[in-house]
Amino acid sequence: MSLLKKTFIASIGLFASVSATAMDQKDFKKAFRALPTENVSERLTALQDLRYRWIMESFPSRATYEGYPGQNDRWVDNSSRAMQQRQEQTRQLLGATRNLNVDALPEQQRLDYQLLYQDLLGEVKGFQFPEHLQPITHMSGIQRYVPSVLNSMPRSKAADYEEILARLSKLPTLVTQTQALMQQGLSNGVTPPQITLRDLPRQIRALTPKNPEHSPLLSAFAEMPKAIPQAKQKSLRQRALTIYNSQLLPAWRDMAEFIEREYIPGAQKDIALSSRPDGLRWYAYKVNENTTTDLSPEEIHRIGLAEVKRIRGEMDRIIQKTGFKGDFKAFTEFLRTDPRFYHTSREDLLRDYRDIAKRIDGELPALFGTLPRMPYGVKPIPSYSEQSQTTAYYQPGSNEAGRAGIFYANTYNLPSRPKWEMEALTVHEAMPGHHLQIALAQEQADIHPLRRMALYTAFVEGWGLYSESLGYDLGLYKDPYSEFGALTYDMWRAVRLVVDTGMHQLGWSREQAIGYFMDNSAKPLHDVTVEIDRYLVWPGQALAYKLGQLKIKELREEAEETLNSNFDIRSFHDALLGAGALPLNILEERMDSWLESQVSVSVHIDTQQVEQPATS
């Protein structure tokens, strides 16, 4: 097969013809043996095809989100045997990729090779650390993604509901496997910090309320399509209730009791990843994995301190601009407590988010030559997770699955949701932040599906944070409080560099990290506490935002300085986003090449202008 240049739908058709169930070891070996051996270009494309199919069929939840067919009746197999098998298969793919003759590849496939090799190598390096032994945190795990996956499944016909029922019936196995991994982690001293687990039993019990009709696990059955006959609807609901009462209730209740009785009491009291077995090397790996840089934790800590100092100066300037009489601490307390900055109803909060999103959409053509076709919506974070969830997040859409992108906003605890943060947050999560970048990547017909679904944190979140600075160009931040809110969000990500490395590398306490955050931000204590606990269970992840933003800003400044009057912001953004998400090291190489091409064009145009004969 030549370099794949098909639409995502065509690719799905190709892979669906290979398998409509799981890729077992026999399937993998057969596909691996069938890889082309003569033509290096065809072999690379075939490796990408196999890697893509392997991801979709090894992790059925991802397949659901991406709209890949044949996997909606399954969950990932997290038995020891299956996990060992996946590791071995990944090593085989890495070996095959490493042995490719890169020099024989056509230029347009060099990037494909770089990404495939770097991804596989990073994944194999991670096998040395027992990440799998802490499969649940208060931020992630089956209690989070199971309801989301079920609610993302197609449900237009009876056959769709049969797949939901099949998935529900297999869910107890996933719960049991997850609990077994937690038990093993407990025995090996590998757990999330105990302090972060306090809300976990409540999250799990929220999935099985007294009234099954209120369970997030059964929400698909609340309102069914009219195309399904009433008698069939009744039958499907009854079967769902039977599975719920006989299988799901006991499984989830056992897990909640296990967490309360054994897991939380036995969990690690130390907060730092570096306190775990081989923790310093583990944290260094997480830093590299999330930032796609070679920066050390100490270097990142210093970058964070410098950014905090810089942004603090900008914030002090805004305080003076408002005419407020008082210091930084008094001003942030004023922002946290004055009723004028807060909504009194969840509905009003959501309405204002939607209004901001609509205002932004009309300004985007001035900054981007290419905009995505996929729509997006604004919804509240589900009630079962809102209490310990962050301020907002984005869930990608899928044309194949018939699902729009969603900007989820947290409407819990309204006194912790200030109006002055809403514009920056909308820019980050929706347009031109996550929705624009991810939807554009999904719509790139000339790159492999494997690349279209890539979500390198430093790029994706770095772009989201960089997008916040575009708010000025979009007509936002017109009052000093919203401008201060934008700086608060920039400060938030700078503080992350300091506190994440501080806690996991330099011995900071949780209380010290909370205090540092509060001293340098206007965010409410509830938000700050949620954030700090997030950094504790996702070591290194929060570093990606600011480092990604700084790299994108550096690339833009270099382009502006080099091209001067020939710099076109629309062309820059299109080039930056045109290959999908990329690791920062590869992004820099790509944008350097783009800049060289722009310089050549500029020189050619200038030469033509000089040589053009005068006219009268």
Kindly report, residue by residue over 53-63, the tens digit of the pLDDT: 999 999 999 99
Distance CA 342, CA 144 (A): 28
The residue-averaged pLDDT of 66-86 equals: 95
The residue-averaged pLDDT of 438-454 equals: 93
On whether residue 96 sits in a domain, the answer given is yes
- What is the token pair recorded at 586? 């590869």
* Predicted local distance difference test score (pLDDT) of residue 6: 29
* Predicted local distance difference test score (pLDDT) of residue 8: 29
Sheet holding 405-409, edge to edge: 376-380, 405-409, 392-395
Shared domain check, 246 and 325 = no
Given pLDDT bands bounded at 50, 70 and 90, which one contains residue 4? Answer: very low
In this predicted structure, the answer to whether residue 21 has a pLDDT above a threshold of 80 is: no
Tokens 């081989």, residue?
Answer: 278
**Cβ atoms of residues 406 and 379 within 8 Å:** yes
Q: Which residues pair with 378 in a beta bridge?
A: 407
**Cβ atoms of residues 521 and 491 within 8 Å:** yes
CB under 8 Å to 393, separation ≥6 — which residues? 381, 408, 429
Distance CA 238, CA 211 (A): 14
* Predicted local distance difference test score (pLDDT) of residue 147: 95
The residue-averaged pLDDT of 528-552 equals: 97
Shared domain check, 350 and 212 = no
**DSSP 8-class letter at 541:** T
* Residue range(s) defining the domain that contains residue 363: 283-546
Whole-number percent of the chain with pLDDT over 90: 88
Residue 259: what residue type? I
Length of the chain: 616
3-state class (DSSP) for residue 455: coil
* Predicted local distance difference test score (pLDDT) of residue 526: 87
Given pLDDT bands bounded at 50, 70 and 90, which one contains residue 606? Answer: low
* Distance of alpha carbon 268 from the chain centroid: 27
Distance CA 109, CA 89 (A): 23
In this predicted structure, the answer to whether residue 577 has a pLDDT above a threshold of 80 is: yes
3-state class (DSSP) for residue 121: helix
For residue 146, the tally of other CB atoms under 10 A from its CB is 21
Shared domain check, 298 and 255 = no
Distance CA 395, CA 397 (A): 7
Single out the residue of 82, 247, 59 nearest to residue 166, CA to CA. 247
In this predicted structure, the answer to whether residue 187 has a pLDDT above a threshold of 90 is: yes
- What is the token pair recorded at 155? 């449900």
- Torsions phi, psi for 403 (to 5 deg): -130, 130
Shared domain check, 295 and 263 = no
Give the least confident one: 15-24, 112-121, 216-225.
Answer: 15-24
**Cβ atoms of residues 440 and 368 within 8 Å:** no
The residue-averaged pLDDT of 121-137 equals: 97
* Distance of alpha carbon 131 from the chain centroid: 18
On whether residue 241 sits in a domain, the answer given is yes
* Predicted local distance difference test score (pLDDT) of residue 7: 26
Residue 254 half-sphere exposure toward CB, CA atoms < 13 A: 15
Shared domain check, 538 and 438 = yes
DSSP string computed for 228-296: S-HHHHHHHHHHHHHHIIIIIHHHHHHHHHHIIIIIHHHS-----GGGSTTHHHHHHHHHHHHH-S---
In this predicted structure, the answer to whether residue 306 has a pLDDT above a threshold of 80 is: yes
Shared domain check, 298 and 171 = no
Distance CA 475, CA 191 (A): 46
> What does the H/E/C string look like for 384-398?
CCHHHCCCEEEECCE
Last-in-domain residue among 211, 246, 269: 269
In this predicted structure, the answer to whether residue 614 has a pLDDT above a threshold of 50 is: no
Distance CA 260, CA 507 (A): 28
* Distance of alpha carbon 209 from the chain centroid: 29
Distance CA 531, CA 266 (A): 24
In this predicted structure, the answer to whether residue 350 has a pLDDT above a threshold of 60 is: yes
Packing angle, helices 110-126 and 40-58, rounded to 10: 40
Shared domain check, 260 and 176 = yes
Single out the residue of 20, 116, 36, 29 nearest to residue 73, CA to CA. 20
Write down the mean pLDDT value for the chain: 92
On whether residue 552 sits in a domain, the answer given is no
Shared domain check, 323 and 215 = no
Shared domain check, 231 and 88 = no
* Predicted local distance difference test score (pLDDT) of residue 610: 46
On whether residue 557 sits in a domain, the answer given is no
* Predicted local distance difference test score (pLDDT) of residue 120: 98
Whole-number percent of the chain with pLDDT over 70: 94
In this predicted structure, the answer to whether residue 82 has a pLDDT above a threshold of 70 is: yes
Shared domain check, 288 and 364 = yes
For residue 511, the tally of other CB atoms under 10 A from its CB is 9
**DSSP 8-class letter at 194:** G
On whether residue 4 sits in a domain, the answer given is yes
**DSSP 8-class letter at 403:** B
Shared domain check, 341 and 231 = no
The most distant pair of C-alpha atoms in the chain lies apart, rounded to whole Å, by: 92
Shared domain check, 259 and 324 = no
The pLDDT tens digits for 366-419 are 999 999 999 999 999 988 778 877 789 999 998 888 889 999 999 999 998 999
- What is the token pair recorded at 521? 């931000």
Single out the residue of 99, 21, 105, 32 nearest to residue 58, CA to CA. 21
Packing angle, helices 25-33 and 80-98, rounded to 10: 10
On whether residue 614 sits in a domain, the answer given is no
Given pLDDT bands bounded at 50, 70 and 90, which one contains residue 344? Answer: very high
* Predicted local distance difference test score (pLDDT) of residue 383: 85
**Cβ atoms of residues 168 and 240 within 8 Å:** yes
The pLDDT tens digits for 115-125 are 999 999 999 99
**Cβ atoms of residues 401 and 435 within 8 Å:** no
The pLDDT tens digits for 142-178 are 999 999 999 999 999 999 999 999 999 999 999 999 9
Given pLDDT bands bounded at 50, 70 and 90, which one contains residue 41? Answer: very high
**Cβ atoms of residues 446 and 6 within 8 Å:** no
Q: Which residues of 580-606 are buried (b: 16+ CB within 10 A; e: fewer)?
A: bbbbbebbbebbeebbeebeeebeeee
- What is the token pair recorded at 150? 């079920």
Distance CA 566, CA 576 (A): 17
- Please tell me the total count of domains within the chain: 3
* Predicted local distance difference test score (pLDDT) of residue 254: 98
Single out the residue of 549, 571, 578, 564 nearest to residue 366, CA to CA. 571
On whether residue 251 sits in a domain, the answer given is yes
On whether residue 611 sits in a domain, the answer given is no
Distance CA 410, CA 331 (A): 24
The pLDDT tens digits for 415-429 are 989 999 999 999 999
